[in-house]
Amino acid sequence: MKLFIKVRPGARENKVQKVDEINFVISVTAQPEKDRANRAAVQALADYLNIPSTRIRISAGLTARHKIFEIL
């Protein structure tokens, strides 16, 4: 399953907003350096979906705000 994610790094709190079935906006407090924001976004989505973070993979957009996450 593929999910389209917009990540907002440097937010006040970690938050996941569902736009529709496959589009989400994830706000994370981590800064976009040394992969911190990506790891925080994966963890936030895993907590939101109640699945282990090891089942989520970033398939596109490692350095962009718009990403494609794949649920394994």
Structure confidence by residue, pLDDT tens digits, 3-44 = 999 999 999 999 999 999 999 999 999 998 898 999 999 999
What's the confidence (pLDDT) of residue 38?
93
Which parts of 4-65 fold into alpha helices (H)? 36-49
What's the confidence (pLDDT) of residue 68?
95
What's the confidence (pLDDT) of residue 59?
94
Q: How would residue 60 be classed by pLDDT, with cut points 50, 70 and 90?
A: very high
DSSP class of residue 30 equals: S
Give the chain's domains with CATH numbers: 2-71 (3.30.1200.10)
